[in-house]
Amino acid sequence: MAYVGEFNSGAAEIAIPILDRAGLGMVSPSATADALTAIPADNFVRLAPTDEAEGRMLRRLTREEGCCRKVRVQTTPGDYSEAVTKGFGAVGPAGEDPDCVVFTGVATGAAARELAGLARSLPDAKLFAGQGANDPAFLDREGREKQRWVGSFDPDAALAAARGT
């Protein structure tokens, strides 16, 4: 028998040792914090890549697109953002006119508005984002409208799921 969940890394961190003591395995479809595999338990399996791996994938995407000579990394505070940024790695100064923007944070509230404004102010820049931008309200309002996002998730699937279609 196994437990499917938690979806949030913070909740998974609490549940892993409890389930381990109960003799239950835990399969998480979306808990991505790198630190979860350091918990002294052998009952945890994740189906999503770690946050740092997501950052490395975003770096690879920018290289594959071949358009990113001046990269601007935009982020938000928090463990997820720090790990994705760390995985993406260091970048040089982008100056005032980056040719691509990599968003390593969570696109909700003020961060979503700031990122949307940045997208409007840089109409020729390619925009890259991780799962932190997988917010249907943000994607519907800004991401899909511009058709310029390259992400580590499927924006069409995220929107369809949010709408129940």
Phi, psi (rounded to 5 degrees) for 129: -150, 150
Q: Does position 12 have pLDDT exceeding 90, yes or no?
A: yes
User: Which residue, 95, 47, 53, is CA-closest to 71?
Assistant: 95
- What domains can be seen in the chain, in order of their start residue? 2-46 (no CATH), 51-163 (3.40.50.2300)
pLDDT tens digits for range 22-58: 999 999 988 889 999 889 998 999 888 899 998 998 8
- Report residue 161's pLDDT band, with 50, 70 and 90 as the boundaries: low
Task: Report which of residues 140 and 27 the model is more confident about.
Answer: 27
Distance CA 139, CA 129 (A): 11
Q: Where are the alpha helices (DSSP H) in the chain?
A: 9-21, 51-65, 79-88, 109-121, 136-138, 144-146, 155-163
Query: If 0-12 CB within 10 Å is exposed, 13-18 middle and 19+ buried, where does residue 45 land?
Result: exposed
